[in-house]
Amino acid sequence: MTASQEALPELAGVSWRPRADEPRLRKLGAGWTATTVAHVVPFAGAGVVLMAAEPLAFPVTLASFAHAWIIPELYAARGANVVRPRRFEATPKADAVSVGLLGDLVSHAARELHRDTGLVLERGALGTWLVGPAGALLVRPGGRRVNCYCVRVPEEDLPAGDRIAHLLLALRSDESGFATLANCAFSGARWRVRRRLPRPMRHALDTAGGLARG
């Protein structure tokens, strides 16, 4: 955090959490990778052993391999859910006004991306962000890994545009604090998250991935 930035006041409510920074995010990613490996290797290993020991046990072998594939996919689906479209208690007029106000905060390209995908792209020091009404995706430098964050907006009756604006301003104010406050639902391969996103949102993730590689 630079001297011109102010810490988010909400951080006082999670004082036990260490502030997110590059080393901690790398450690977070390594932890998720280790968790995935710990789930996948036993099932995959059991499948290989069964296949070698008893070829007739093919159905059990297949089930073991299926578990090895499905578990990481379920984690990725949970991560993708943080930005999936959802309904909020707001009138169509309020939604339209909120989207117009949000447009004043972002560039023309970001407005177009939001119009097509429902996500706002924001480049930061920790990576490239895609911000939605109730969560955000952080594409890490290099573009291969995505951290999926669930973020709660206190006002329940805000329309989607206002929610994104609220999160976007918090992100710009204190990126490290934003990542500290948010709850990480998944950290893993970008292609896994992409498979679980609605088709329009995949374009946003591809765009963020391209920027993260640059």
Asked if the structure places residue 169 within a domain, the reply is: yes
Under a CB-based contact definition with an 8 Å cutoff, are residues 201 and 83 in contact? yes
CA trace torsion 74, 79, 82, 83 (10° rounding): -100
Phi/psi of residue 184, each to 5°? -80, 115
19-154-9 Cα angle (round to 5) = 35
Asked if the structure places residue 9 within a domain, the reply is: no
- pLDDT bin (cut points 50, 70, 90) of residue 85 is confident
Under a CB-based contact definition with an 8 Å cutoff, are residues 56 and 175 in contact? no
Annotate 148-178 with b (16+ C-beta within 10 A) or e (fewer): bbbbeeeeeebbbbbbbbbbbebbeebbbbb
Give how far the C-alpha of residue 208 lies from the chain's centroid of Cα atoms, to the nearest Å: 12
pTM for the full model?
Answer: 0.86
Listed in sequence order, the residues at least 6 apart from 60 whose beta carbon sits closer than 8 Å to its beta carbon are 50
Q: What is the pLDDT of residues 31-84, one digit of tens each?
A: 999 988 888 887 677 666 666 666 656 676 777 777 778 888 999 999 999 998
pLDDT of residue 142: 96
Domain housing 84: 19-214
pLDDT, greater one: 112 or 214: 112
- pLDDT bin (cut points 50, 70, 90) of residue 3 is very low
Give how far the C-alpha of residue 78 lies from the chain's centroid of Cα atoms, to the nearest Å: 9
Asked if the structure places residue 163 within a domain, the reply is: yes
How many domains does the chain fold into?
Answer: 1
